Structure 1
């Protein structure tokens, strides 16, 4: 480790110009000087040579790396020093104390009863003018009435913080309040959990004594079940996420044109038996992840999750996974009260304005004995056509085909290129090849018919060519 002056670029330029030789090239450090410097560094590390000293006369550890010991050029160090690595002395700003930082709002104490000169003409406070007043503009200001003088506000001093002080998110934090709110509450919860755990342990021990110790083989039959693991330390049965004897999703249908399987998330959103649904009952094995999400209790669980979020925002401490029973009871009570409120509102409106006879009327189809719904039935009574679910239309254009195509662009994929499914064309906005062939064949047949009508003698020749 050796000290080298790290001067500013302008000073380095001047030194280089002053050390230029006759040939116009700067002088370089000789190999002997460089070897002497390295030998001196090794001797200092071995302890045979005295260490370097800073400007205060303190020894500098020779094992400190060069990039730490070397001061930057803007520090202006001309001698070995480590002062740039120590904390620089800064003047503490007294205006950034907690008391002055936290002073906000209205001043405490007595409020003036008479209007004072220089006060706000609207509310009577001395800390702002009429144009800066945030109170409602009075019809007659406090300057003329002398009543309801508003209290003065705290005037915050100019807090000349440094760069870090302006961005200190914990400036003005009350440590005692943090201690009371978080740490004390956490200690109480842990103490309650410990007491509850002791009670449950005592109850389990008493229960085992009453049974005579027959619970040793309680889970013996379930230990060898596939997909489960028995932990002897905690005596609990842990079930894996998936039983290995179950068939994987991607093995339901090996057709490459079937539903897409994502191996990263292990998801198959569509039904792999969609092409042959209903044959041999294969569609009953697996219907896709979207089918599972849209049936059963998935909707009810989503509603309960939304109810839990809304209840938590209104101050009710409830969670779907932590307290499912409590959430279920609260949701049932909320639904019951909501239905009762709707029914009471409906009954009050009917009692006030009448019209109960219109609500009890039969459907319009029964009154008029006709309907516009078109439905076809088979001889067995099943619906053949009609009553289909309406297609959802988007704001984009649908079912619009160009250049005689019967499918849209992008419905065909092969060898890294998109195309039309109706024909093997992979050029966008190109005419349909199937339609082109039909038009060409039609034109050729018409021409042949005209030729045969005009030249009947060519018919044997055309028949021989056709054979």
Structure 2
């Protein structure tokens, strides 16, 4: 018996075992030759206690068992999982039953829940609504006992199994429901076809239209297979969440391989695929992605960005994204100064070398000696008719003069009020007073600026002076003009008439 790895206690117990001896050089050489022969396949492999071959290529530090393992021969049992250390988990068919209850009791039992009467929990753990009078005192509506759940030992996947407890037989009801729906659809389709054949009132166009409107019931299944669509079987509605399939793809607009290049990675076609069609981009449904990218304010933003970069290179601290308002103001100031510089340069050149008269373009009538405008001249060369500016038509009456006014209402504006230009009157239905009305308005405006008291006179509020009683202030209207002056003007106008 090999006693190299045999513990001392085992040697003492078994008296037949010799004490370990030092291995001689000859024994070591024989063991080495046997090991090499087993690796070469010329000698049979070592066998463990279960009759299994041991791979000779396994290193010695793996194949040799420790002394406390108690191995009595070559073995690899110490490298295999130990049965006493293995954890046993529940099977896949074991699960917690859900929604199952035990029998319902007819009266309250001792130790049951005082609220609902179930024997499997106490009152503090009851999940029912608290009753006004518990089942302990009423013996009414005793809740059924919950089913005792087994104590399962589940692993990581077993705890997260979404199909745990699923019975495939329950799905037969769903399959049967859909089968009945399909059978009803098929029957309706047969009845519709029989009715169309017997009536003979439908035409081929009507059949085509009905096929397009009503359609085949199987088209929903066809649409369900299309990517980018979602079918609601209850409402029979197809929802598109991608582009409409009737839209022509970019790479199908021009099949010429030498036309605009389509980049499949970015799904973009920069160039115009209809470049040789002699049509403007506005007339085409698609004129390339560059046409869309350079429309609107895109060009202005690019110019502003270029200006910001150039200004930053010149030493101006400006950034379009960080300070857009500052960049826009600087750009406007730069453009205005550029225009002024060009005009000043042009004026300096004309002032030095002359020739400004050659830059003045004569009228088109003198250049082409003909025009489409109709003009009549008198024998003295004056324009009689023609060449007038078009009159703007309005729904209101125009150039209507009333109450002896020589201008229309709204021709005068002052102090946020409209009036007549001829007399400066702010009343629309007033009579024209001419230059006298203008003088009155001027006097009323100046009287508002005059001080309340004259130089050397008593104050207006002095009760002892009596000036307020002797000289009564003239009553004035809302425009500051005295009533006496207005009456005098009206008498003068009546006498003139």
Q: Per the shorter chain, which TM-score range?
A: 0.3 to 0.5
Task: Give me the TM-score of the superposition, normalised by structure 2.
Answer: 0.33
Relative contact order (alpha carbons < 8 A, sep ≥ 6): 1 or 2 greater?
1
TM-score by length of 1: 0.35
